Amino acid sequence: MKAFERLGLSFVPFQLLGERLLLEVLEARNSDEVRPFMFEDRPIPVEEHLRFVDSLRSREDAFYWAALEGDGLLGVIDLVEVDRRHGRAQLGIYSAPGSPGGTGSRLMEGLRFAAFELLGLNSIRALVLEGNERAVRFYERCGFSFEGRLREYVRRGDLYLDVLVYSLLRREAVKQEY
C-alpha cells in the first residue's frame, strides 16, 4: 500500500516508517490515553510490535498508516479484515496523546479516503467497547450508524464486555462532510 495525503496530513504505511516513528507509534498505542480502549489492553513489547509491522508486508487483509504532520505523529488509522470480494473492512483509529483538537476528524477523512477510494470498499465498521462514550459520539458525528451489540465479546480480567458495532457505507460517506 502506498502513502497518501489528506487535509495536510501524510498517511504513511507502517512498513515504510523508520525506527523512530515506529517507536512513536508503539508509545502512543501503549499510552494510558489509548491502550484502555483497545481490545488487547496489555502493553505491546517492542519486539512484538516490530514483528507485527514486518508481517504486514505479506498481508492483503490488513493496512496500517501513521498520520504525520511534518515529521510528528498525530495518530494511526487502520483497515483490517479487509474483504475485497464483499467490499468491507473493520477500522481502527486513534490520535496520539497531545494531538491538537480536530485531529480525529482529519484522521477519519484519511480513513474514509483509504477505504473508499484507495481500496474501493463499500462499507467499513467500527467496534467500540461499551462505555467508550467519546468514541460513540465521534462515530455518530462522522455519519456512522449503530448496527448492534456483540454481547460479552471482549474479556478484561474476570469480566466480559459488550462491544458496539457502527458502520458507514460508501454512499453515506460521499454525502457526509465534517
Q: What is the pLDDT along the chain (178 residues), one digit of tens a residue?
A: 799 999 999 999 999 999 999 999 999 999 999 999 999 999 999 999 999 999 999 999 999 999 999 989 999 999 999 999 999 999 999 999 999 999 999 999 999 999 999 999 999 999 999 999 999 999 999 999 999 999 999 999 999 999 999 999 999 997 665 3
To the question of pTM greater than 0.85 for the whole model, the response is yes
Task: Walk me through the domains of the chain, giving residue ranges and CATH numbers.
Answer: 4-175 (3.40.630.30)
C-alpha cell at 91: 477500522
